[in-house]
């Protein structure tokens, strides 16, 4: 019998028992909808974490000093007090590296920022203009300091949104104003665009950015640098960039092959991987729930198909007596089961998508309906239909036509 | 071959059933043949083996012993699927309880046997089903479902279903058993017309002697054997019997 006829017969049979068919589907519908909605929530939060990480600059590479003296002798020091990185390193990387688009040295200091009657404890970061490129950070108002400001150690700065809110009355124009940071006056030349919290909940806007030399020489009076920030050409070459930086720094630091690095090179990709593995675990758990709910739905289908076969024994007998072969009967019932599960799957996908949308609208949770979860639930539905529909259908196909015809 | 000129030919047909440790012999060597165009009734009291014989004649069951040739085909060596194909191509069943699919139109019910015949297109299927329904004078009831039809009409849909695959033989099992006498006569008149006008071969199983009177030949079964095989020289006309009935009372 053709697929078209099989579908027609199956549809007719389901139409005769609409409510029962629907209730049977309900198991599949709820299962699929739950999976789609949960995966959407999982994917949504994963996406938002990734967006946050990207807001820190997804191709950003951080180079920190590190102690290469093995533990066991003396007190180990905080990384910021280690003095292994210098401006020469920055220059060497700038000159030799091929996977790097921009680079900036960085020093920072904590202190009190004062503007007239307002004061606010914050951090000042001394960097070159390249830093804002690396962080993909724009100014909301004003301009970024120039390279000349850097060489002349000009007392100019850009302030973050949080610093602005705490040092100025709402509506005040901060550009051109002088604020003091640890008694040194800085002229505000720009207001940074809002960045919000990073993945760890730190307020990225609570910052003052000034030329590197200004902070290093005027504020801290040091000759080394604390961090180097660099940006890889794109996210895909961060690993190559990392390796390249390591080998350049080992050369400039004149490390022997047996020596450990006296610096650390870190990328955002590593962080993203950490979060990804967490959300992968979540996905595994959701898949398990999906499997269980579809199993329950499948048992529902099997149950109803058995009832249906028993109920329609006489019909089966008649069909056999007028020439239906076992395979015709088998396919007929199998088609019904698959139709139930696929229809349930479609309704489940629709319900799941709308649930995800409602969650976003009412609970403001980020959700992302992934195509793969739809395809997967669909495939599982079909398999469920075939698997759980097969045994009842087989039972039907093996009925003795004589007994089936006489069945009351 | 012996059975070639017959639609149906049985020789020493036996059918044994194993019930526990006991072997029940339902058929103990039944031999008879049916020629094309015959209207044969098989009669017998319950327990005479007529149901068992009917199942074998209908290719729903296989004999334990003996031979059965249907339209020249020996069935004892055939598989389940071959039997299904044979039923589909050569036999038209008419049952006592009609066995129409509920909530399915007359047309779709009649189309059913052709659905299991891959050689017939959708278009031809519909055409033939309409023709069969017209032959049983239900051309105006194509879209009626069984619960919208009377018992007699339902049985006529069932007869149309038996005709639609152009079988070599119509096999009727107590086809008038559920009907009142007026409707029974109507159905018998239809069978007679199919037999006499369209030359259809009909094998009709019944236990009612007055039904047998409408056929051209009667095989009596008793205790799993053929007791009598008589030709009917005075075939009664069901149409006349119908006309002779007192007019139906209108309530």
- A231 phi and psi angles, rounded to 5 deg: -120, 130
For residue B126, give every residue at least 6 positions away whose Cβ sits within 8 Å of its Cβ, in sequence order, or none. B107, B111
Collapsing DSSP states into helix, strand and coil, what is residue A398? coil
DSSP B97-163: T--PPTTS-HHHHHHHHHHT-TTS-HHHHHHHHHHHHHHTT-TT-TT--GGGS-HHHHHHHHHHHHH
SS3 of A222-264: the string is CCCCCEEEEEECCHHHHHHHHHHHHHHHHHHCCCCCCCCCCEE
* B145 touching chain A per CB within 8 A: no
| CB-nearest partner of A322 from B55, B102, B116 | B116
User: Chain A: residue nearest B120 by CA?
Assistant: A1
Using the Cα atoms of residue A180, residue A184, residue A187 and residue A188 in order, give the sign of their dihedral.
negative
| A314-325 CB burial, b ≥16 within 10 A, e <16 | bbbbbbbbbbbb
Tokens of A244: 């390249």
**Whole-angstrom distance, CA of residue A165 vs CA of residue A118:** 10
User: Chain A: residue nearest B85 by CA?
Assistant: A323
How many beta carbons lie within 10 A of that of residue A401, not counting itself? Answer: 25
Strand partners, B101: none
* A318 touching chain B per CB within 8 A: yes
Q: Does the residue B74 lie in any domain?
A: no
Q: Which residues of A fall within a CB distance of 8 Å from B99?
A: 314, 317-318, 405
Q: Pick the closest to residue B87 from B169, B175, B5, B27 (CA basis).
A: B169
**CATH value at residue B137:** 3.40.50.300
Return the minimum-mean-pLDDT range out of A318-327, A348-357, B78-87, B242-251: B242-251
* B161 touching chain A per CB within 8 A: yes
Which pLDDT score is estimated for A76? 60
| pLDDT classification of A124: cutoffs 50, 70, 90 | very high
Which pLDDT score is estimated for A80? 55
Task: Answer whether residue A130 shows pLDDT above 90.
Answer: no
| pLDDT classification of A307: cutoffs 50, 70, 90 | very high
- A213 phi and psi angles, rounded to 5 deg: -65, -35
**Whole-angstrom distance, CA of residue A385 vs CA of residue A341:** 5
- Could you report how far apart the first and last alpha carbons of chain A are, in Å? 28
Element (H, E) at B228: strand B225-231
**Whole-angstrom distance, CA of residue A376 vs CA of residue A385:** 14
Q: Which residues of B fall within a CB distance of 8 Å from A317?
A: 99
Q: Which residues of A fall within a CB distance of 8 Å from B78?
A: none
Best interface-test mutation with B: which of A1, A13, A321, A399 has the largest number of B CBs within 10 A? A321
Residue linked to tokens 């220059």: A91
For β-strands B225-231 and B217-222, DSSP reports them as antiparallel
For residue A197, give the DSSP letter: B
**Whole-angstrom distance, CA of residue A67 vs CA of residue A76:** 8
**Whole-angstrom distance, CA of residue A30 vs CA of residue A304:** 17
Q: Does the residue B72 lie in any domain?
A: no
Strand partners, B15: B27
Its domain, for residue B228, covers 36-57+79-243
- The mean of the pLDDT values for chain A is 85
- Separation in Å, CA A60 to CA A108, A262, B35: 18, 20, 96
Assess contact for A349 and A371: CB atoms under 8 A.
no
Tokens of A190: 């720009």
The mean pLDDT of A297-302, rounded to a whole number, is 88
* A322 touching chain B per CB within 8 A: yes
* B58 touching chain A per CB within 8 A: yes
Are B85 and A325 within 8 A, CB to CB? yes
Q: Pick the closest to residue A247 from A59, A63, A38 (CA basis).
A: A63
For residue A262, give every residue at least 6 positions away whose Cβ sits within 8 Å of its Cβ, in sequence order, or none. A65, A66, A67, A68, A82, A84, A253, A255
User: A343 CA to chain B: closest CA distance, Å?
Assistant: 22
| pLDDT classification of A393: cutoffs 50, 70, 90 | very high
**Whole-angstrom distance, CA of residue B192 vs CA of residue B214:** 7
Burial, A351: exposed, middle or buried (Cβ in 10 Å; 0-12, 13-18, 19+)? middle
User: B61 CA to chain A: closest CA distance, Å?
Assistant: 8
| pLDDT classification of A292: cutoffs 50, 70, 90 | confident
For residue A194, give the DSSP letter: P
SS3 of B47-59: the string is CCCHHHHHHHHCC
For residue A210, give every residue at least 6 positions away whose Cβ sits within 8 Å of its Cβ, in sequence order, or none. A124, A125, A126, A127, A145, A155, A156, A157, A158, A186
Assess contact for A407 and A396: CB atoms under 8 A.
no
User: B247 CA to chain A: closest CA distance, Å?
Assistant: 36
Task: Answer whether residue A79 shows pLDDT above 70.
Answer: no
Are A328 and B61 within 8 A, CB to CB? no
Assess contact for B189 and B146: CB atoms under 8 A.
no
For β-strands B65-70 and B225-231, DSSP reports them as unpaired
ipTM score here? Answer: 0.92
Assess contact for A38 and A286: CB atoms under 8 A.
yes
Chain B residues 173-192 with a CB less than 8 Å from chain A? none
How many beta carbons lie within 10 A of that of residue A123, not counting itself? Answer: 16
Flag residues of chain B having pLDDT under 70: 1-4, 248-251
User: B60 CA to chain A: closest CA distance, Å?
Assistant: 6
Tokens of B118: 């891959």
Collapsing DSSP states into helix, strand and coil, what is residue B65? strand
Q: What's the length of chain A?
A: 408
Total domains, chain B: 1
Task: Pinpoint the alpha helices (H) of A325-370.
Answer: 326-358
Tokens of A374: 């739809």
pLDDT tens, position by position, A225-236:
888 998 888 777
Residue linked to tokens 């069978």: B191
Which pLDDT score is estimated for A74? 58
**Whole-angstrom distance, CA of residue A102 vs CA of residue A406:** 86
Assess contact for A266 and A229: CB atoms under 8 A.
no
Return the minimum-mean-pLDDT range out of A212-216, A275-279, A307-311, B119-123: A275-279
| CB-nearest partner of A320 from B84, B95, B101 | B84
Q: Pick the closest to residue A144 from A212, A216, A62 (CA basis).
A: A212
- A203 phi and psi angles, rounded to 5 deg: -80, 110
**Whole-angstrom distance, CA of residue A297 vs CA of residue A25:** 8
User: A50 CA to chain B: closest CA distance, Å?
Assistant: 57
Which pLDDT score is estimated for A77? 58
């Amino acid at each position: 019998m053709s697929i078209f006829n099989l579908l027609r017969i199956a549809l007719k049979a389901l139409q005769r028992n609409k409510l029962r068919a629907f209730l049977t589907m309900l198991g599949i519908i709820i299962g699929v909808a739950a999976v789609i909605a949960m995966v959407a929530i999982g994917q949504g939060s994963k996406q938002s974490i990734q967006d946050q990480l990207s807001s820190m600059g997804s191709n950003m590479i951080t180079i920190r000093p590190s102690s290469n003296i093995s533990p066991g002798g003396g007190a180990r020091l905080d990384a910021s007090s280690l003095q292994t990185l210098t401006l020469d390193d920055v220059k060497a990387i700038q000159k030799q590296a091929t996977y790097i688009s921009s680079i900036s040295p960085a020093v920072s200091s904590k202190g009190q920022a004062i503007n007239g009657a307002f004061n606010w404890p914050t951090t000042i970061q001394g960097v070159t203009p390249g830093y804002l490129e690396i962080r993909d950070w724009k100014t909301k108002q004003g301009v970024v300091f120039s390279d000349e400001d850097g060489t002349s150690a000009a007392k100019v700065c850009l302030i973050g949104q949080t610093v602005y809110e705490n040092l100025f009355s709402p509506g005040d124009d901060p550009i051109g104003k002088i604020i003091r940071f640890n008694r040194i006056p800085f002229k505000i030349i720009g207001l940074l665009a809002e960045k919000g919290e990073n993945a760890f909940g730190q307020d990225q806007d609570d910052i003052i950015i000034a030329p590197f030399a200004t902070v290093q020489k005027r504020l801290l009076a040091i000759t080394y640098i604390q961090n180097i920030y660099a940006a890889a050409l794109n996210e895909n070459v961060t690993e190559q960039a990392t390796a390249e930086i390591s080998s350049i720094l080992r050369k400039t630091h004149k490390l022997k092959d047996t020596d450990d690095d006296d610096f650390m090179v870190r990328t955002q990709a590593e962080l993203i991987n950490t979060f990804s593995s967490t959300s992968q675990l979540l996905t595994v758990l959701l898949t398990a729930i999906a499997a269980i709910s579809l199993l329950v739905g499948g048992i529902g289908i099997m149950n109803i198909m058995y009832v249906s076969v028993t109920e329609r024994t006489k019909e089966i007998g008649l069909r056999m007596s007028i020439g239906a072969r076992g395979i015709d009967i088998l396919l007929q019932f199998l088609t019904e089961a698959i139709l139930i599960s696929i229809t349930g799957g479609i309704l489940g996908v629709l319900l799941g998508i709308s649930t995800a949308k409602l969650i976003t609208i009412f609970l403001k949770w980020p959700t992302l309906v992934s195509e793969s979860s739809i395809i997967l639930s669909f495939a599982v539905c079909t398999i469920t239909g075939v698997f759980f529909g097969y045994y009842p259908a087989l039972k039907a196909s093996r009925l003795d036509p004589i007994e089936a015809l006489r069945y009351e | 071959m012996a059975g070639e000129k017959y639609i149906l030919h049985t020789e020493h047909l036996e059918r044994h059933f194993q019930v526990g440790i006991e072997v029940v012999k339902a058929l103990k060597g039944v031999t008879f043949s049916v020629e094309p165009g015959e209207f044969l009734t098989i009669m017998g009291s319950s327990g005479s083996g007529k149901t068992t014989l009917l199942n074998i004649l209908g290719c729903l069951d296989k004999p334990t012993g003996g031979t059965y040739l249907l339209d020249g085909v020996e069935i004892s060596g055939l598989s389940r699927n071959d039997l299904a194909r044979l039923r589909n191509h050569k036999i038209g069943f008419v049952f006592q309880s009609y066995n129409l699919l509920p909530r399915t139109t007359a047309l779709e019910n009649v189309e059913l046997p052709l659905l299991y015949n891959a050689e017939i297109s959708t278009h031809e299927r519909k055409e033939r089903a309409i023709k069969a329904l017209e032959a049983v004078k239900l051309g105006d009831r194509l879209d009626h479902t069984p619960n919208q039809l009377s018992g007699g009409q339902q049985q006529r849909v069932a007869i149309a279903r038996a005709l639609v695959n152009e079988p070599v033989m119509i096999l009727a099992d107590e086809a008038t058993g559920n009907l009142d006498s007026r409707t029974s006569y109507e159905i018998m008149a239809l069978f007679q017309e199919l037999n006499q006008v369209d030359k259809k071969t009909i094998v009709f199983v019944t236990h009612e002697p007055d039904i047998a009177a409408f056929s051209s030949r009667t095989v009596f079964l008793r205790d799993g054997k053929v007791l009598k095989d008589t030709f009917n020289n005075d075939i009664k006309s069901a149409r006349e019997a119908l006309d002779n009935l007192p007019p139906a009372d209108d309530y």
